[in-house]
Every structure is written in structure tokens, then in C-alpha cells.
Structure 1
Amino acid sequence: MEYIHSSDGSPSSSHQNPKSTAKWAASLENLLEDPEGVKRFREFLKKEFSEENVLFWLACEDFKKTQDKKQMQEKAKEIYMTFLSSKASSQVNVEGQSRLNEKILEEPHPLMFQKLQDQIFNLMKYDSYSRFLKSDLFLKHKRTEEEEEDPPDAQTAAKRASRIYNT
């Protein structure tokens, strides 16, 4: 079976993946599942002085996947010291924070930060995420994506073939 290749050498297909910006705009969940989306969102949050929110969320996601008890204790302490302690370098603003203390670190479990992570997720979803979608950073990325993509009907298979085979 022969494939017609696009100008960049990759197989051309009429069923292209949805553009990343379209996926990011569909939901915060989609954005956070895409490493490039996370990178762009972090850039945006850095400008808003709230990058710690996404960093906390990511740290919690990583923490939930931890199996080893000793590693879990280390990661729990790191999350607490970085984001939740009153002396935290990147403190997040969550309800009930003043009641948190280091005792919670003695018996860590995968979902110990879930309520706080959910609070931060909702804060991002209903606050920063909507601003991100209107930001120059997002809109510029979206424009770049659209410019890289040829309009689907502008190139028929015959035109692509003639370009490839110089006919």
C-alpha cells in the first residue's frame, strides 16, 4: 500500500488530529493532559504570579501514582513544605490550610491531598483558565497552528501527488 506524503514527509491523512489549541480550549482536563499545554499554561500563570497552582496540581498527580511508602512520605513532605506549610516557598491558597500541620505526613496515602488539589483545580478552571483562553499567549499559539495547516480543500490528492512526483 502506498501513502501520499505531505511536504514534511509525514503520511498525509484526511483524518487529522484535532489541533492542540482546540483540545486545550475544550477543557482544562485536556490542557493538563498535554505536556505542551501545561508548558503554555505555566508560562501564562507565571505572568499572573500564580504558577504555584498548576505546579501543586501536577505534584499531587505525581504523588497519587507513587507506590513505595518511603517515596510517598518524601513526596508528601516535599508537597507540604513547598506548597502548604506557612513557610512554603510557593504557597497555594486553599481552604483549611491553617489547620494543616506536619502530622499529616506521618501516615501518607495517595489521596491525602485530593480535597486541596480539587480546590486548586476549580480555582484554575473558573479563574485563570478562562483568562488563559483569551490571552495573547494562547491566541498567538492558535494562530501559528492555523497558519501551519493548509486549508483541507486547497490541496486535492492529485495536487499533492503532482507535487511529490513532479508530474
Structure 2
Amino acid sequence: MENPLLLFPQLNTSASKDKPYYKVMKSAIKEEPHKASKSGSVSPEEAVKWGESFGKLLSEKAGLDAFTKFLKTEFSEENIEFWIACEDYKNSKSAHELLPKAKIIFKTFIQKDAPKEVNLDFHTKEATSQSIGQPLRSTFDAAQSTVYRLMEQDSYPRFLSSALYRSLLQGRAPARAPLRRRSRSFTVSDFQGARPDFTLR
């Protein structure tokens, strides 16, 4: 089994974000050149645009970063991590990368009792698992769409009403949000030292 930190180095929580492999994540995210975020600052005008649509929020580096921080307060960051991994997978430079990456995504996010299992219906999970042996760039499309819709309909509205987002609209640095327990059967020990940092700076 290939080392997941070599194929998906963004999963390495102890790695420095200054290293070149963090650039992998930027391939799926547009950053407007004239609005490049400096030291994480976001203009109220930028933040207002994120309220227009969920797609707009995820299409910008600073928006994705803010939404990821919000999901961490709800202990549901595995959803955005899965979405990012799927974007990275689809942008693989060669077909040879697909199989090892597909196996890691499946073992990390989809298989039963995966460490960061995302909420998928039985049909989608089965269809995805059957294509892992000979994966295509579209292998995770259905699962990614399911998780995208879940975030769009569930997490995104809560993000827009959160203190974190309101502070960005007012041009203030967001206060550190309190961590909220989510209604899933995890124990505190599941989260200790096991929350990778996907912030992109």
C-alpha cells in the first residue's frame, strides 16, 4: 500500500504549509490575483460574495479556508476534506496516479468504519466501491456530488448565520469559535490529535 502522505501530502497534519506539495491543493481553487489574501485578511466585499452561492464560496481560496474552519467547530470537516481530495484526484496528471489515490480516498472516507467516513447512501457507496479496482476520473463523482449537496443544504446555511461569517462581513478578524459537539457517535478521543489542517495560506 502506497504511503498516503506521499499521494495526498495535504493529509499530513505535521507538515509545514510552506512546502511545495501544498501547492497541489491550489489546482482546484481559483484565487483572484487582485484580491490575493494577505495574512488571511478577507474584505467584507469578498465575504458578501460567498453568500451568493455555495459554489462561489468554494471557488475561492479564502472562502474554502473560512468554511473549513467553520466545519471544524462542528467536527464535520471530513466532508470538505473528502471534497478537496476528490478535486485533487480528478486533477491527477496521469492515469497511473488514479489507482493508488482512489484506494486511499476509499479507505479514508468511504469504506465501512473509515477513519473519516462521510455520509453516503448505500447505492452510491456500492457503485463507488465496485469501480475502485479500475478507477476512472469520474469514479468519485456521484459520492462527491452527494457530499457537496449535503454541505450546501446543511452546513452552508449554518455557516452564513455563524459568528465567524458575520465577523468577516463586518471586516473583523473572526473570534475563535467554540467547538460544538455534533450528533454522531464519536468519542472525544476520536478527535484528539486527529484533525488535519486543510487551511491554505
34, 58, 62: which one aligns with 2:84: 58
**What is the RMSD of the two structures over their aligned residues, measured on CA atoms?**
2.1
95, 105, 111: which one aligns with 2:121: 95
Cα distance in 1 for partners of 2:74, 2:90 equals 27
SS in structure 1 at match of 2:51: helix
46, 63, 85: which one aligns with 1:37: 63
Name the structure with the higher helix share. Answer: 1
Counting aligned pairs with the same residue, the percent is 35
Contact 2:68–2:77, Cα closer than 8 Å, also in 1: yes
- Say if 2:127 is the partner of 1:134: no
Q: Which consecutive residues of structure 2, in runs of 5 or more, have no partner in the other structure? A: 1-33, 35-42, 173-201
Contact 1:85–1:101, Cα closer than 8 Å, also in 2: no
> Aligned pair in 2 of structure 1 residues 80, 25: CA closer, same or farther (>3 Å)?
same
Cα distance in 1 for partners of 2:127, 2:108 equals 13
Q: Which consecutive residues of structure 1, in runs of 5 or more, have no partner in the other structure? A: 1-9, 11-16, 146-167
Deviation of 1:141 (Å): 1.2
Q: Could you report, residue by residue, the CA deviation over 1:93-135 in whole angstroms, capped at 9, with x for unpaired residues?
A: 0112663675532211011111111111110111100000000
Contact 2:128–2:139, Cα closer than 8 Å, also in 1: no
Contact 1:73–1:105, Cα closer than 8 Å, also in 2: yes
72, 82, 92: which one aligns with 1:46: 72
Residue identity opposite 2:51 in structure 1: A
SS in structure 2 at match of 1:57: helix
Cα distance in 1 for partners of 2:128, 2:61 equals 32
Deviation of 1:44 (Å): 0.6
Greater relative contact order (Cα < 8 A, sep 6+): 2
Q: Which residue of 1 aligns with 2:197?
A: none
Greater Cα radius of gyration, structure 1 or 2: 1
The aligned runs of 1:1-167 (5 Å cut-off) are 19-96=45-122, 99=126, 103-144=130-171
Deviation of 1:87 (Å): 3.1
